[in-house]
């Protein structure tokens, strides 16, 4: 159930409650913990998905029967590991990272987790790398957590290269509470939302910064 306050945006969780439910429902094994901790150890921004959001992404892809997934925004490889765990043994994750140093850290994390055969890290701008992956499609899922000003471009690519029933998942869909501002970045994110509704059955899940979910029609 919900009430008028929660429907209007009030949340009832606290840091303590989130910690308890995360430890219960989205625990880390050694490989996931190493990936989650890697940004702090290597001087990278710790901007990866929260554990519960990462587990949600994994479960959604598993329910969709995903086999081939593209990720835009690798960072240190934490979310890529979660994506890979949703797939069968012969599944493929193609993850794209702009920063070569971050990509190097991610490759090391992925190798130590034993997932190098299923996860390929590509280095470059998303708009440049995505066209090189098209021959490997159609894909079962596209997860976006990268430069926010390009979300509309990534969403259009996903609409063209996802199979029917494939999933589009976009993190930071609320744009840090800036979604409705008058700025080029906010306008791009709004286009991502609006254009997704044209090709996908969509919902924006009210995680702390919003998670757009679309199922390709």
pLDDT of amino acid 8? 85
In a domain, 7, yes or no: no
Q: What is the pLDDT of residue 200?
A: 98
What does the pLDDT average to over 189-214? 97
Token readout for 149 is 């000003």
**pLDDT band at residue 13, thresholds of 50, 70 and 90?**
confident
Look up the CATH number of the domain holding residue 60.
3.40.50.150
pLDDT > 90 in the chain, percent:
94
For the segment 140-167, the average pLDDT, to the nearest whole number, is 98
Crossing angle for the helix pair 30-41 and 100-112, to the nearest 10 degrees: 160
pLDDT in tens, 80-119: 999 999 999 999 999 999 999 999 999 999 999 999 999 9
pLDDT at res. 1: 65
78 touches 37 (CB < 8 A): no
pLDDT at 9: 84
For residue 49, being part of any structural domain is answered with yes
- Total tally of structural domains belonging to the chain: 1
> Minimum mean pLDDT among 5-9, 108-112, 210-214: which range?
5-9
Which helix H or strand E contains 10, and what residues bound it?
A: none
Cα 95 to Cα 80: distance, rounded to the nearest angstrom: 7
Answer whether residue 100 is part of any domain: yes
Picking from 126, 158, 153, the residue whose alpha carbon sits closest to that of residue 142 is: 158
pTM: 0.96
Q: 111: domain range?
A: 12-216
Whether residue 23 lies inside any domain: the answer is yes
- Half-sphere exposure in the Cβ direction for 64 (13 Å, CA): 28
Residue 101's contacts (CB-CB under 8 Å, 6 or more residues apart) are none
Residue 2 lies in a domain: no
Residue 6 belongs to a domain: no
Average pLDDT over residues 192-216: 97
Please tell me the predicted confidence (pLDDT) of residue 168. Answer: 98
Measured distance CA(67)–CA(65) in Å, rounded = 7
pLDDT for position 7: 83
Rounded distance between C-alpha atoms, residue 84 and residue 217, angstroms: 24
**pLDDT exceeds 90 at position 10:** no
In the prediction, which pLDDT does 5 show?
82
Extract the runs of DSSP E, i.e. beta strands, from the chain.
68-72, 92-97, 119-123, 139-144, 162-171, 200-205, 211-216
Instruction: Average the pLDDT over 177-184 and give the result.
Output: 97
Q: pLDDT at residue 2 above 80?
A: no
Q: Which residue has the higher pLDDT, 4 or 134?
A: 134
Helix (H, G, I), strand (E, B) or coil at 107: helix
In a domain? residue 18: yes
pLDDT in tens, 16-52: 999 999 999 999 999 999 999 999 999 999 999 999 9
């Amino acid at each position: 159930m919900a009430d008028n306050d929660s429907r209007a945006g009030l949340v009832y969780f606290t840091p303590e409650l989130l910690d308890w439910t995360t430890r219960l429902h989205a625990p880390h094994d050694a490989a996931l913990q190493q990936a989650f901790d890697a940004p702090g150890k290597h001087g990278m921004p710790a901007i990866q998905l929260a554990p519960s959001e990462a587990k949600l992404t994994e479960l959604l892809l598993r329910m969709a029967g995903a086999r081939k997934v593209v990720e835009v925004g690798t960072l240190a490889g934490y979310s890529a590991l979660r994506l890979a765990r949703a797939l069968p043994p012969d599944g493929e994750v193609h993850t794209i990272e702009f920063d070569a140093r971050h990509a190097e850290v991610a490759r090391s994390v992925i190798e130590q987790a034993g997932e190098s055969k299923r996860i390929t890290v590509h280095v470059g701008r998303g708009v440049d790398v995505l066209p090189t992956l098209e021959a490997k499609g159609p894909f079962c899922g596209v997860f976006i957590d990268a430069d926010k000003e390009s979300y509309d471009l990534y969403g259009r690519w996903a609409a063209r290269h996802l199979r029917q029933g494939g999933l589009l998942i976009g993190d930071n869909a609320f744009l840090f509470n800036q979604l409705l501002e008058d700025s080029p970045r906010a306008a791009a994110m709004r286009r991502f939302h609006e254009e997704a509704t044209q090709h996908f059955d969509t919902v924006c899940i009210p995680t702390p910064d919003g998670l757009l979910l679309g199922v390709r029609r």
